């Protein structure tokens, strides 16, 4: 996964807890694609849009918050799949509220059609666009949305 300097062409894609288990964990909900497959899809989408990709995953809330703060300005956009932290992290919400670039909330599954506790997102009111329930293709749609904001 990339680890270059973040600049005005960078799309920062952040993945929260357990997304490292894509393809293994509950494939009937999340599909068979792995996080490596998602990374490849995102890289292709960024290449088509003439953007660079910084793709990261962590199971640790504080690490995700540090990365959100790192991308708060000067990049093309920030895409976040907060996974389980979507429903619990006021701290991640507060970090996103300081982000001055286009930001997209992505969820592979339809969080509104799942368990009641997943229906609420702390991230929705501090992101500019949401893609929910479109499978891993939602990441590509998020990159395309970020690219359209630059036009």
Q: What amino acid positions are annotated as catalytic residues?
A: 30, 107
Is 94 among the annotated ligand-binding positions? yes
Is 121 among the annotated ligand-binding positions? no
Give the burial string for 72-92 (b: 16+ CB within 10 Å, else e).
beebbbbbbbbbebbbebeeb
Is 125 among the annotated ligand-binding positions? no
Q: 3-class secondary structure for the chain?
A: CCCCCCCCCEEEEEECCCHHHCCCCCHHHHCCCCHHHHHHHHHHHHHHCCCEEEEEECCCHHHHHHHHHHCCCCCCEEEEECHHHHHCCHHHHHHHHCCCCCEEEEECCCHHHCCHHHCCCCCHHHCCEEEECCCCHHHHHHHHHHHHHHC
Is 59 among the annotated ligand-binding positions? no
Query: Can you read off the two tokens belonging to residue 65?
Result: 């918050």
Is 119 among the annotated ligand-binding positions? no
Is 60 among the annotated ligand-binding positions? no
Which parts are annotated binding residues for substrate?
Answer: 81, 87, 94, 108-109, 118
């Amino acid at each position: 996964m990339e680890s270059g300097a973040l600049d005005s062409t960078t799309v920062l894609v952040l993945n929260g807890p357990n997304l490292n288990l894509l393809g293994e964990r509950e494939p009937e909900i999340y599909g068979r694609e792995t996080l490596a497959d998602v990374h490849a899809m995102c890289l292709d989408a960024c290449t088509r849009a003439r953007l660079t990709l910084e793709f990261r995953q962590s199971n640790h809330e504080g690490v995700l918050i540090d990365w959100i703060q790192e991308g708060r300005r000067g990049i093309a956009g920030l895409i976040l799949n907060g996974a389980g932290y979507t429903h619990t992290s006021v701290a991640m919400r507060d970090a996103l509220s300081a982000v001055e670039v286009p930001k997209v909330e992505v969820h592979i599954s339809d969080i509104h059609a799942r368990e009641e506790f997943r229906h609420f997102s702390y991230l929705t009111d501090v992101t500019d666009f949401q893609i929910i329930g479109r499978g891993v293709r939602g990441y590509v749609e998020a990159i395309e949305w970020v690219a359209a904001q630059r036009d």
